[in-house]
Amino acid sequence: MNITETALKNHEELFPNHQSVVGLTDPELIEVFDNFAFDDVLAYGNMDIRTRLMMILGSTIGCQALTEYKVMLGGALNVGVTPVEAKEILYQSVPYVGIAKALDFIHATNEVLKGRGIELPLEGQSTTTRETRFEKGLEAQKAIFGERIDQMYKDSPENQLHIQKFLSANCFGDYYTRKGLDLKTRELLTFCILISLGGCEPQVKGHVQGNINMGNDKQVLLSVVTQLLPYIGYPRSLNAIRCINEVTTNE
């Protein structure tokens, strides 16, 4: 296989001494993919390797790529992503993909961590109680989206208001308020999960603005999409870029 030195170096950093089974059966495909994902794509932007791997983990959960998730989880742990961070990435995905889609990834994560001698459960990261989750969740929502949240409550029909309350207490109160990852990283992860799910363009646009508000500017978002492109494909990547451009029309 004619794999570039840069691609080989970047691949080796994640997976030392790894022998690709697919490389033996499908060498032409691996040559094309490795040169693209580990050379061409990495030449764009300046995202550090830990952040890139965390976003790829969130993305693989979003697009239900369990086999690739396990591979990339190993690579992420190899370059310094902590077990707590890995678990928090997984937990962050639950309100977006649903527990039915997250459950296999929970079991896979536990297998990988146990295989590395890491004792489970990990130290708890929750910061809220049943009594405080709504208040703290609403606070996190407003930190990301500002007064738009008040308008969402005002505009909600009475028979749908409970969904707004669930978003505040559950999606944000139960998950965004956890330790292990900061709010800025969680919001970027949410963007990655949503664009990888597909069909979530209205929510993607909302979280593009949320990321802008949190300091993840247009260049950061374009860099993330570029890093995810080899894993989610062109249609979902182009949809994500369209959402970014529509929200950031003046940038």
Averaged pLDDT in 10-residue chunks for the chain of 251 residues: 93 90 92 97 94 98 97 97 98 98 98 98 98 98 95 96 98 98 98 97 97 97 98 98 93 66
What pLDDT score does 251 carry? 66
Rounded CA-CA distance 245/225 in Å is 13
Neighbours of 201 (CB within 10 A): 15
Q: Which domains does the chain have, with CATH numbers?
A: 44-125+178-247 (1.20.1290.10), 133-172 (no CATH)
d(CA 86, CA 179): 12
Distance (Å, whole) CA 28 – CA 33: 9
Instruction: Please name the amino acid found at residue 191.
Output: F
Percentages helix, strand, coil for the chain (3-state, rounded to 5) are 75, 0, 25
Q: Model pTM greater than 0.85?
A: yes
In the chain the beta strands, taken as DSSP E runs, fall at none
- pLDDT at position 1 is 72
